[in-house]
Amino acid sequence: MRITIDGLAKEGDGVGRCADGRAIFVRGALPGEKVSIAVTDEKPKYLRGNAVAVLEPHDQRIDPFCNHVQNGCGGCNLQHADGELQKRMKLRIVQEAFERIGKFTDHTVSYGGSIEPVRYRTTIRCSVHDGKAGMRGFRSHDHIPLNSCGIAHERVEEIMTKSHFGNNKQVVIRTSTLTGKSLAVVSTSPKGVKTLEDVQVTSYEKLQKGESANIIERVCDKDWRVSAQSFFQASPQGSQLLVRTVNEIIHENVTRTASMLDLYSGVGIFAGTIGSGRKVTAVEQNASAVKDSIHNLGDSVNHVCTRVEKWETSPHDFVIANPSRSGMSKQVPSIVDQTGAEFVVLISCDAAAAARDARRMVNKGFQLGEIQVLDLFPQTSHFEVVSTFER
């Protein structure tokens, strides 16, 4: 099947039309290209496929620097586009989501910057087969063995490729660029795991029973304890860019004495930087992250360990909300409204969720302001969306 690509899906796939009118999502195809496709999945309303030959290539198509892309690794799905094209593709994905899902036709999405495009990931989740770490194939459970990873930090790559992870099926590797200490959290048991020196090996069962495992990372000239079960950005570079961007927004729009509500507060990055010197409430449901935040910030912040939906609302002047990929639930815009906050910054890691949540915020009486894309995950179709709202 030969198709001309004229659209772009949020996962970075090219989109074309079959002769019968059905959409086809094509992995490895870029907008404007004519490609030959091998169909991998057929549904009543759409198809999926892989580009097996590029008949008319985009002038910004490049050869992937990692041979595992051709092997089907599901990690990096935009290595065939140069950096400038990746930027334009991500802006387009977000712009189209806000127009199609959010119904915002008069807002322009801007680009807020990127981190280094290689060797940035200090946390990585790997599948394991016969003791060796690798990646899942795209949209599959296939194990793709890896002997290198160009987006992984050198220490993470070394642990990933030179370790034997026993009979486990999965491992999360995390390393500190500050201290060099590393963690390997396996899915079942540390028994039989052989890895490098200075790598603490543990399992989720051991962590649930109280074993301590953490690293110290530095962001914005502060040291942060991050435990194995706490969320942290894929790189300290990413956290730095995100905090700097949000801090500039707050500085331009909020008074220095305004009180702050930090929703989905994690280990306290925003509360401890933007919230420094302010009255701050940090709401987070993950107990491990709350313990880290208390360790990092002490009693300078009012820590609340609960789901945002169960938090007992109280007045605050502005809100920073950084939910997981699924975004805010339907109740959260009402909760934000009840605080009386005049200004809100929403950080989203999914374009569709960002657009949906923006519409819900507007329906509660807020006005959508700027929308920025931060490229915290080069070579992939992932990014962060920072949007602002005024009452």
pTM of the model: 0.95
Say if strands 23-27 and 14-17 run parallel, antiparallel, or are unpaired: antiparallel
- Amino acid identity of 324? S
Domain with CATH 2.40.50.140 in the chain: 2-59
For residue 251, is pLDDT > 90? Answer: yes
Contact 89, 12 (CB under 8 A): yes
Beta bridge partners of 47: 24, 42
What is the spatial distance between Cα 347 and Cα 389, in angstroms, rounded to a whole number? Answer: 12
What pLDDT is stored for residue 65 in this prediction?
Answer: 93
Does residue 74 carry a pLDDT above 90? no
Q: How far is CA 84 from the centre of its chain?
A: 20
Q: Which has more confidence, 104 or 140?
A: 104
CATH number among 3.30.230.70, 1.20.1200.10, 3.30.565.10, 2.40.50.140, domain 2-59: 2.40.50.140
Question: CA-CA distances (angstroms) from residue 168 to 163, 185, 204, 214, 285?
Answer: 12, 10, 12, 21, 28
Spacing of C-alpha 378 from chain mean position:
11
pLDDT classification of 380: cutoffs 50, 70, 90: very high
Give the pLDDT of residue 87.
97
CATH 3.40.50.150 residue spans of the chain: 95-116+234-390
For residues 275 and 261, what is the distance between their CA atoms, to the nearest angstrom? 9
What percent of the chain shows pLDDT beyond 70? Answer: 100
Contact 333, 391 (CB under 8 A): no
SS3 233: coil
Classify domain 95-116+234-390 at the CATH topology level.
Answer: Rossmann fold (3.40.50)
In this structure, what is the dihedral angle of CA atoms 29, 31, 37, 40, given to the nearest 10 degrees? Answer: 70
DSSP state of 99: H
Strand (E) positions, 18-165?
23-27, 34-42, 46-56, 109-114, 123-129, 132-136, 143-145, 164-165
State the chain's mean pLDDT as an integer. 96
- The model's pLDDT over 23-63, given as tens digits with 9 standing for 90+, comes to 999 999 999 999 999 999 999 999 999 999 999 999 999 99
